[in-house]
Chain A
Amino acid sequence: MNSLDQQAALNWFAQFGVVESHFAQVLAAATAYGADDADLYFEHATSVSVSLSDEKVNAAYTSVDLGLGVRVVVGDQVGYAYTEDLSLESMIRAAQSAAQIAKGGKLHAPVKTSVLQLPDYYPINRHWSDVAISERVPMVRKWEQAAFARDARIKRVQASIADAEKRVLIVSADGRMAADYRPMTRAMVSCTAEDKGVRETNYYNIASRAGLDWYSDERQDRLVHEAVSRSIWALDAGTPPAGEMTVVMAAGSSGILLHEAIGHGMEADFNRKGISIFADRVGKRVAPEGVTIVDSAVLPQARGALNVDDEGSPTQRTVLVEDGIMRSYLHDRISARHYGVESTGSGRRESFRHPVLPRMRCTYMEAGNHTPDEIISSVKKGIYCESFGNGQVQIGAGDFAFYVRQGYLIEDGKLTQPIKDVNIIGNGPKVLETIEMVGNDLVIDEGGWTCGKDGQSVPVSQGMPTIKVKNLSVGGGRR
Chain B
Amino acid sequence: MSSTIHTPEASASHETDSKKALLDEAVRVVETLRKLGADEASASYGWGVHSDLARREGKVETATSATSKGLTVSVLVNKKYSSHSTSDLRPAALDAFLQRAVEATQYLEPDPEQGQADIALCGRGATPEELDEFDAAWRDFTPEQRAQWAIDLEEAVKAHAPANMISASASVADGMNQSARAMSNGFAEVEEGAWYSLGAEMTLLDDGKRPEAYVYYGARYRSDLPDVQAIAKELAAKAQERLNSGPVESGQYPLILLNQAAGRIVGILGGPLSGGALYERRSCLIGKKGEKIGSDLLTLVDNPLIPRGLGSRPFDGDGLRAQKRTVIQNGVLENYYIGVYYGRKLKMDPTSSGASNWVIEAGQQSWQDVAKQFPKAILVNSFLGGNSNATTGDFSFGIRGQLLENGVPVKSLSEMNISGNIMSFFHKLSHVGNDPWTYSSMRSPTLIFDDVAFSGV
List A residues at the B interface (Cβ < 8 Å): 16, 50, 53-54, 56-67, 76-85, 94, 97, 100-101, 103, 132-134, 137, 155-156, 158, 192, 194, 199-201, 239, 242-244, 260, 273-277, 279, 353, 355, 389-403, 420-427, 429, 473-477, 479
Contact = CB atoms under 8 A, between A and B. Distances in A.
Given A156-B282, A192-B391, A422 B396 contact: yes
B203 A101 contact: no
B210 interface: yes
A200 B282 CA distance: 7
Nearest to A157: B280
Contact of B209 (A66, A277, A392, A401): A277
Contacts of B61: 76-78
B63 A274 contact: no
B111 interface: yes
A274 B1 contact: no
8 contacts: A54-B280, A58-B110, A59-B108, A60-B81, A192-B280, A275-B167, A421-B389, A474-B417
Given A54-B279, A243-B457, A475-B455, A401 B398 contact: yes
A392 B400 CA distance: 13
B418 interface: yes
B428 to A, nearest CB: 13
B385 A59 contact: no
B34 interface: no
Contacts of A390: 385, 387
Contacts of A396: 166, 203, 209-212
Contacts of B64: 80-82, 355
B9 interface: no
A426 B419 contact: no
B66 A242 contact: no
Nearest to A404: B396
Interface string B1-24: 111110000000000000000000
Interface in B381-403: 384-392, 394-398, 400
B83 A421 contact: no
A422 B104 contact: no
A148 B93 CA distance: 42
B423 interface: no
Contacts of B97: 64
Nearest to B388: A421
- The size class of the interface chain B forms with chain A is 35 or more
Contact of B166 (A56, A275, A425): A275
Contacts of A398: 209-210
Interface string B68-86: 1110000000001111111
Given A58-B110, A60-B83, A61-B83, 8 more contacts: A58-B108, A133-B108, A192-B391, A244-B456, A274-B166, A274-B210, A277-B210, A474-B417
Contact of B419 (A65, A355, A427, A475): A475
Given A421-B392, A473-B457, A400 B69 contact: no
A251 to B, nearest CB: 22
A403 B64 CA distance: 34
A84 B69 contact: yes
B324 interface: no
Contacts of B326: none
B101 A62 contact: yes
Contact of A101 (B60, B104, B385, B397): B60
Contacts of A475: 386, 396-398, 417-419, 455
A460 B123 CA distance: 42
A57 B415 CA distance: 44
B384 A394 contact: yes
Contact of A477 (B60, B111, B203, B453): B453
Residue of B68, B387, B456 most packed against chain A (CB within 10 A): B387
Interface string B352-368: 00000000000000000
Nearest to A138: B107
A60 B104 contact: yes
Contacts of A399: 384, 398, 400, 414-415
A310 B50 CA distance: 22
Contacts of B101: 62
Given A82-B66, A394-B384, A242 B455 contact: yes
Contacts of B420: 477
B417 A427 contact: no
Given A400-B385, A401-B385, A81 B105 contact: no
A261 to B, nearest CB: 12
A201 B176 CA distance: 39
Contacts of B417: 242, 401, 422-425, 473-475
B455 A84 contact: no
Nearest to B86: A64
Given A61-B83, A84-B69, A392 B63 contact: no
Interface stretch (B227-235, B242-250, B255-263, B441-449): B242-250
A53 B386 CA distance: 27
Given A67-B87, A137-B107, A277-B210, A403 B387 contact: yes
B108 A57 contact: yes
A476 B455 contact: yes
